[in-house]
Structure 1
């Protein structure tokens, strides 16, 4: 696992798996109420916990954001919550139902599309994300203070697996979103339009490098 400080108050944790042509990222927002974005799967979370403790020190983790119910997004949540039992897990209503269906009794904070969360370091707007092949409604997050899009599986970069930070354009990244990520032409068109209307400067992707955008 590599730990990269991509911005003054934002860390990226990058996991790679041998012979798997994709990497897996989690992010940590600092501030008075730190937030972890995704947990990684169970094995990734084992490596992640000591790094969180090192960075946070005596601070508690306030929030864990889960964009959708999948192993690399929340498979390690039990290990994280063992260490930070007071953390609130933020997710969509659909994801909360999936947690409950598996008997997970976490402190869930349900957010709907267009809801916000204002804190000292980050100001988050939640965006509807029709995740995975079943198009269950998940969420992606846009931080309006630094114009960072946390794109989950929506934006994936297979070609830069060894690069931690790259430059790109929003047009290129939006155009790269295909029916492989959103298997519905209508839903794909909607989310591309939503993203094109946002003043995005950075993309914190769930898989691939941290992306700095330029015109």
Structure 2
């Protein structure tokens, strides 16, 4: 295995590790995103076993000890299993997450106290500005959230648009069909009363880049892509209601 690096937006780098054994034969990517700024942020931290691959990839872009912020979408091993390894490697770094995630998990799990963020709160990284947006249960987990990087129009969208395979770092093709194929395989999305409205709320940001944790990132009409994903889930909800 190796971790590859690609710039998906100005100063935002995708660190991607392809795992062919997951969902074989297509395989699956685990992606972290490094935001290069005065106060650098790593979004998604990865499994503990991937730390020896991802840390050297970060070091090719900046010294690991310079990391100031560690963040992720929700509390799962693929997003934060290596959290305390990063905290040890970057002595000035803080975990930044939503208030719910800090309350129910991270105050206990993190080796240093995390920074809780309110819905809509912005962290000024110096050259980058990230806005925290609570998205409870979208795509899953109570503490789920996304970050929107305002200067590049990049939505760090976590598990949204998850798809299989090891495609290019960035595509302009509609990801909805591939995302729904992955949904059939994993049944990972919590379909509830707020799923569709949450996606429409994110679409109002009109992001230019969708930084996807599993699969290729997307460049183009991010608002349209999110509305299309909302329509796909609305169709599933309608089908469930008709049964």
Q: Give the TM-score taking structure 2 as reference length.
A: 0.77
Q: What's the secondary structure of 1:40's corresponding residue?
A: coil
Hey, which bits of structure 1, 4+ residues long, moved more than 6 A?
Answer: none
Aligned: 1:165 with 2:170: yes
Residue 178 of structure 1, CA deviation: 7.0
How large is the RMSD of aligned CA atoms in angstroms? Answer: 2.6
Contact kept? 1:4, 1:11, Cα under 8 Å: yes
1:113 to 89, 112, 119: 119
Q: What's the secondary structure of 2:59's corresponding residue?
A: helix
Contact kept? 2:18, 2:28, Cα under 8 Å: yes
- Larger relative strand fraction: 1
Name the counterpart of 2:197.
Answer: 190
Aligned: 1:90 with 2:92: no
Residue 128 of structure 1, CA deviation: 1.4
Of the two, which has the highest radius of gyration? 2
Residue 101 of structure 1, CA deviation: 4.0
Q: What's the secondary structure of 2:212's corresponding residue?
A: strand
* Superposition pairs of residues 46-65 of structure 1, within 5 angstroms: 46-57=52-63, 60-65=66-71
Q: What's the secondary structure of 1:208's corresponding residue?
A: coil
Name the counterpart of 1:25.
Answer: 31
Residues 150, 156 of structure 1: CA spacing in aligned structure 2 closer, same or farther, 3 A cutoff? same
- Provide Cα deviations, 1:75-127, integer angstroms capped at 9, x if missing partner: 1112212210210100122322312344x332301112111112322111111
- Larger relative helix fraction: 2
* Superposition pairs of residues 63-142 of structure 1, within 5 angstroms: 63-96=69-102, 97-102=104-109, 104-131=110-137, 135-142=141-148
In structure 2, runs of 5+ residues without a counterpart are: 225-243
Q: What's the secondary structure of 2:196's corresponding residue?
A: helix
Residue 72 of structure 1, CA deviation: 0.8
- Give the whole-Å Cα distance in 1 for the aligned partners of 2:65 and 2:85: 17
Q: What's the secondary structure of 2:157's corresponding residue?
A: strand
Q: What's the secondary structure of 2:46's corresponding residue?
A: coil
- Give the whole-Å Cα distance in 1 for the aligned partners of 2:10 and 2:122: 22
Name the counterpart of 1:208.
Answer: 215
Q: Give the TM-score taking structure 1 as reference length.
A: 0.86
- Give the whole-Å Cα distance in 2 for the aligned partners of 1:8 and 1:92: 25
Residue 204 of structure 1, CA deviation: 0.3
